[in-house]
Amino acid sequence: LWQQLSAELKKTFKPVSYNTWIASVKPIEISGDTLVLELPSEFHLNYWNEHLLDPTQTILEELTGQAMTIKLRLPNQLTNQNQGQTQTLDNDEKAVYGHDTHLNDQYTFDNFVIGAGNYLAQAAALSAAEEPGEIYNPLNIYGGVGLGKTHLMQAIGNEMLRRNPDAKVKYVTSEEFTNDLINSIRTRRQEAFRREYRSVDLLLVDDIQFFADKEAIQEEFFHTFNKLYENKKQIVLTSDRIPSEIPKLEDRLVSRFRSGLSADITPPDLETRIAILRNKALAEGLEIDDQTLSYIASQIDTNIRELEGALVRVQAYCTINKIDIDLENAMAALQGLQELSAERGLSISGIQEVVAQYYRLQVADITGKKRTKNIVEPRQIAMYLARELTDNSLPKIGKEFGGKDHTTVIHAHEKIATNIKRDSELRKQVSDLQKLLQN
Ligand code: ADP
Ligand code: MG
In 3D space, the residue among 159, 176, 38, 141 whose CA is nearest the CA of residue 105 turns out to be 159
Q: Which residues pair with 69 in a beta bridge?
A: 34
* Top mutation candidate among 304, 306, 311 for ligand 1, by most atoms within 8 Å of CB: 304
Ligand at shortest distance from the CA of 152: 1
Measured by CA distance, the residue closest to atom 1 of ligand 1 is: 146
Residues in the ligand 1 pocket, defined by CB under 6 Å: 111-113, 118, 145-151, 276, 304-305, 308
> Among the residues of 187-303, which ranges form H helices?
190-198, 215-230, 251-258, 270-283, 290-299
Helix axes 215-230, 190-198, angle to 10 degrees: 40
Report yes or no: 178 and 217 within 8 Å, Cβ to Cβ.
Answer: yes
Ligand 2: centre distance to CA 330 (Å): 28
Strands 202-206 and 169-173, how do they pair?
parallel
CA of 207 to the centre of ligand 2 (A): 7
Determine the Cα–Cα distance for residues 200 and 66; give it in Å rounded to an integer. Answer: 32
Minimal-distance CA residue to ligand 1 atom 18: 148
From 108, 111, 147, the mutation candidate for ligand 1 (largest count of ligand atoms within 8 A of CB) is 147
Position in ligand 1 atom list of the atom nearest CA 207: 2
For residue 315, give Cα distances in angstroms to 152, 287, 304, 318.
26, 10, 17, 5
The answer to whether residues 224 and 116 touch, using CB atoms and an 8 Å cutoff, is: no
Q: Are 263 and 121 in contact (CB under 8 A)?
A: yes
- Specify the residue with its C-alpha closest to ligand 1, atom 19: 148
The pLDDT assigned to 68 comes to 85
In sequence order, the β-bridge partners of residue 141 are 238, 263
Calpha distance 49→56 (Å, rounded): 11
CB 234 within 8 Å of CB 126: no
- 3-state SS, one letter per residue, for 307-348: HHHHHHHHHHHHHHCCCCCCHHHHHHHHCHHHHHHHHCCCCH
- Probe ligand 1: pick from 104, 300, 305, max atoms within 8 Å of CB? 305
Question: Which residue in 359, 407, 358 sits closest to 383, CA to CA?
Answer: 407
Atom 14 in ligand 1: residue holding the nearest Cα: 305
Q: Is the dihedral of CA 363, 365, 367, 373 positive or negative?
A: negative
Q: Ligand 2 centroid to 53 CA: how many Å?
A: 13
pLDDT in tens, the chain (439 residues): 888 888 888 888 777 677 778 888 888 888 878 888 988 877 778 888 888 888 898 888 888 888 888 988 887 755 433 333 333 333 333 333 333 446 898 999 999 999 999 999 999 999 999 999 988 999 999 999 999 999 999 999 999 999 998 999 999 999 999 999 999 999 999 999 999 999 999 999 999 999 988 899 999 999 999 999 999 999 999 999 999 888 889 999 999 998 899 999 999 999 999 999 999 999 989 999 999 999 999 888 888 998 998 998 899 888 888 999 999 999 998 886 655 555 566 789 889 988 988 888 889 999 999 888 899 999 999 999 999 888 888 889 999 999 998 889 999 999 999 999 889 889 989 988 887 777 6
What number does the ligand 1 atom closest to the CA of 279 have?
25
Nearest CA to 235 out of 244, 226, 245 is that of: 226
Question: How many Å lie between the centroid of ligand 1 and the Cα of residue 42?
Answer: 19
Compute the chain's Rg from CA coordinates.
Answer: 23
Contacts 24+ apart (CB under 8 A), 374-381: 377/426, 379/412, 380/412, 380/413, 380/415, 380/416, 381/355, 381/416, 381/429, 381/430, 381/433
List of residues 6+ apart from 158 with CB closer than 8 A: 103, 105, 107, 108
The pairing of strands 202-206 and 234-239 is parallel
CA of 353 to the centre of ligand 2 (A): 31
Q: Which atom of ligand 1 is nearest to the CA of 304?
A: 12
Residues in the annotated binding site for ATP = 146, 148-150
Distance 174 CA to ligand 2 centre (A): 11
Q: Are 333 and 318 in contact (CB under 8 A)?
A: yes
What gap in Å lies between CA 246 and CA 227, rounded to an integer? 23
Nearest atom, ligand 1, residue 152 CA: 6
What distance in Å separates the CA atoms of residue 326 and residue 293, rounded to the nearest whole number? Answer: 9
pLDDT of residue 413: 94
Compute CA distances 353 → 194, 339, 375, whole Å.
50, 17, 14
- Testing ligand 1's pocket by substitution, the residue of 54, 140, 142, 151 carrying the most ligand atoms inside 8 A of its CB is 151
Residue 89 has a pLDDT of 35
Ligand 1 atom nearest 115 alpha carbon:
23
**SS3 labels along 365-387:** HHHCCCCCHHHHHHHHHHHHHHH
Prediction ipTM score: 0.99
Report the DSSP beta bridge partners of residue 202: 169, 234
Query: Among candidates 259, 382, 42, which has minimal Cα distance to 392?
Result: 382
Helix, strand, or coil (residue 23): coil
Whole-number Cα distances in Å, 163 to 153, 157, 216, 272 = 16, 10, 36, 28
Relative to the alpha carbon of 265, which ligand is closest? 1
pTM, to two decimals: 0.61
3-state SS class at 255: helix
